[in-house]
Structure 1
Amino acid sequence: MSIFGKVALVTGAGQGIGRAIALRLAKDGADIALVDVNEEKIAAVAKEVTALGRKATVFVADVSQQDQVAKSVDYASQELGGFDIIVNNAGIAQIAPLLDVTPAQIDHILKINVQGVLWGIQAAARKFKASNQRGKIINACSIAGHDGFALLGVYSATKFAVRALTQAAAKELASDGITVNAYCPGVVGTDMWVEIDKRLAEITGAEVGATYKKYVSGIALGRAETPEDVAGFVSYLAGPDSDYMTGQSPLIDGGLVYR
């Protein structure tokens, strides 16, 4: 069973995990709406999608803005002739001791990591309901949504919030045939983790790269995660084999955090 012919929208699709998810869903047969704040990056990913034989469209949006997220969903539906799946992937990290966090910092990360997911849930659910169709809502969580990490306290709090939104939305939308799940990656070799490692080095005095190696050394499968590892699991959540699954936020981390 596949998602051939379905339309999927992926936020934060210009790089890293978002790019990998977009390409995997395209390989699975979906047409892809790419959403990001960086037009140049999503334009490049769109070329990769079309090279796979699928349709692609791009929409520049800041996910912290409710109206922009809603417009991106409308645009995807109009341009690609339908709307079946949303992957609320966009997010940022924040590394700081809790005692140093400022109001501006917490406001910024909450708007993107929490409100951005909520606006995506709203926009997708409204589109599915208006079309009287079933749909898939998939949210980006993290191992930090299961275990609060030192120096990543506010980031962890945003990911715990994503788990709560995922559970609540699953309960509210189940009667409409809409499933809501999340994915929780671990230590992924992306630009985000490069920045996390750099900031942790500044705060702790460790050498650059040492904290990354420390976390990777604790992974049972013995290697860092790749964006493609995450994308493979999102493919399952997007497809029909997960139709009886909702409200869940499984760990996909190679064996680092256990629940």
Structure 2
Amino acid sequence: MASVFKGIALVTGAAHGIGRAIALRLANDGFHIALNDIPSKKALLDDIAQTVGDKGGRAFAICADVGEEEQVKEMVHGTVKTLGGLDVMVANAGIARVNSLTGTPADVWDKVLRVNARGVYLCYRFAALQMIAQGRGGRIIGASSVAGKRGYIGLGAYSASKFAAGGALELGKHGITVNSYAPGIINTPIWESTFVPSDYTSFEEEKNKYVGDTAVGHVGEPEDIASLVSYLASKEARYVTGQCFSADGGIFLT
């Protein structure tokens, strides 16, 4: 782990996949880390905290449902109480569902929007309030998607939710930048569990089709997203705000 303290970061959806990679990268960069996910994933968060601690860093698990206002408020408060403040909020938590427009039940639509849109909004809001109160600026970073830049067949609810993770320019006067990252298909369990045979012939065939549509010829890894977030969380990114950065291997959108 880096020996120079960089600040305090809170990463939601940190139990696995992209969130886990982001948390480990920021810890390596020198941040103290609050690791968030839902209670059923507490053991996974504790394992990550132990990994960080074994390398000389500092991390702790704080469970909360990002769709619940009071839980997000308490999550931010708990981070401040335990680690001493909040400098970086990474609103990474998200879910994906594949359904046609006519085949999407209202409760599925509501669930996706609740986590991916409402959850991001609540994380942005309470992080911003804390950062403004601290008076030292900050970084707010959210999870969008290539599906948050254009619609995709079968991803109506998901696309709508990911369009919500934009930047908030109003916070610039407080020294707070707000950006988002838009991955393509990343090699994580969420995609294999999302693209089921009832929607596509097989996950491998869909992944291979995606690979054929990228400039680099392969799907991404969680660490590819973590490296982008590492930059957005850094002091070097102080003049970058209101942007959504694609990290999709140069997928052709035509």
Pairwise same-fold verdict (TM > 0.5): yes
Tell me whether 1:18 sits opposite 2:14 in the alignment.
no
Report the 3-state secondary structure (helix = DSSP H, G, I; strand = E; otherwise coil) of the residue aligned with 1:75: helix
Moved over 4 A (4+): none
Q: Normalization by structure 1: what TM-score?
A: 0.93
Residue 232 of structure 1 is matched in structure 2 by 227
Output the CA distance in 1 between the equivalents of 2:203 and 2:139: 39
Residue 220 of structure 1 is matched in structure 2 by 215
Output the CA distance in 1 between the equivalents of 2:175 and 2:155: 35
CA contact (8 A) 2:10 2:88 kept: yes
Moved more, 139-148 or 16-25: 139-148
Tell me whether 1:76 sits opposite 2:74 in the alignment.
no
CA contact (8 A) 1:3 1:239 kept: no
Report the 3-state secondary structure (helix = DSSP H, G, I; strand = E; otherwise coil) of the residue aligned with 1:173: helix
Moved more, 75-84 or 227-236: 75-84
- 1:3 deviation in Å? 7.6
- 1:77 deviation in Å? 1.1
- 1:4 deviation in Å? 3.0
The one-character-per-residue Cα deviations of 1:66-122 (angstroms, maximum 9, x if unpaired) are: 111111111111111221000000000010000111111111111100000000011
Output the CA distance in 2 between the equivalents of 1:48 and 1:230: 20
CA contact (8 A) 2:6 2:29 kept: no
Output the CA distance in 2 between the equivalents of 1:207 and 1:181: 34
CA contact (8 A) 1:147 1:257 kept: no
Residue 28 of structure 2 is matched in structure 1 by 27
Report the 3-state secondary structure (helix = DSSP H, G, I; strand = E; otherwise coil) of the residue aligned with 2:220: coil
CA contact (8 A) 1:141 1:184 kept: yes
Report the 3-state secondary structure (helix = DSSP H, G, I; strand = E; otherwise coil) of the residue aligned with 1:202: coil
Residue 138 of structure 2 is matched in structure 1 by 135
Report how many aligned residue pairs link the two structures. 250
User: Counterparts of 1:1-259 in structure 2 under 5 Å?
Assistant: 4-37=5-38, 38-163=41-166, 166=167, 169=168, 171-198=169-196, 201-204=197-200, 206-257=201-252
Could you list the runs of 5+ residues in structure 2 that have no partner in the other structure? none
2:238 partner letter: D
Change (3 A) 1:258 1:131: same
Report the 3-state secondary structure (helix = DSSP H, G, I; strand = E; otherwise coil) of the residue aligned with 2:36: strand
Looking at secondary structure, tell me which structure has more helix per residue. Answer: 1
| Root mean square deviation, CA, Å | 1.6
- 1:209 deviation in Å? 1.8
Change (3 A) 1:94 1:248: same
CA contact (8 A) 2:213 2:252 kept: no
Output the CA distance in 2 between the equivalents of 1:246 and 1:124: 16
Report the 3-state secondary structure (helix = DSSP H, G, I; strand = E; otherwise coil) of the residue aligned with 1:122: helix
Percentage identity across paired residues of the two chains: 42
Report the 3-state secondary structure (helix = DSSP H, G, I; strand = E; otherwise coil) of the residue aligned with 1:98: coil
Change (3 A) 1:6 1:32: same
Change (3 A) 1:257 1:178: farther
The one-character-per-residue Cα deviations of 1:196-233 (angstroms, maximum 9, x if unpaired) are: 222xx2124x1342112111221211111000000000
Change (3 A) 1:257 1:130: farther
Change (3 A) 1:97 1:258: closer
CA contact (8 A) 1:179 1:245 kept: yes
Output the CA distance in 1 between the equivalents of 2:252 and 2:9: 29
1:218 partner letter: D
Report the 3-state secondary structure (helix = DSSP H, G, I; strand = E; otherwise coil) of the residue aligned with 1:179: strand
Moved more, 74-83 or 111-120: 74-83
Report the 3-state secondary structure (helix = DSSP H, G, I; strand = E; otherwise coil) of the residue aligned with 2:93: coil
- 1:142 deviation in Å? 0.6
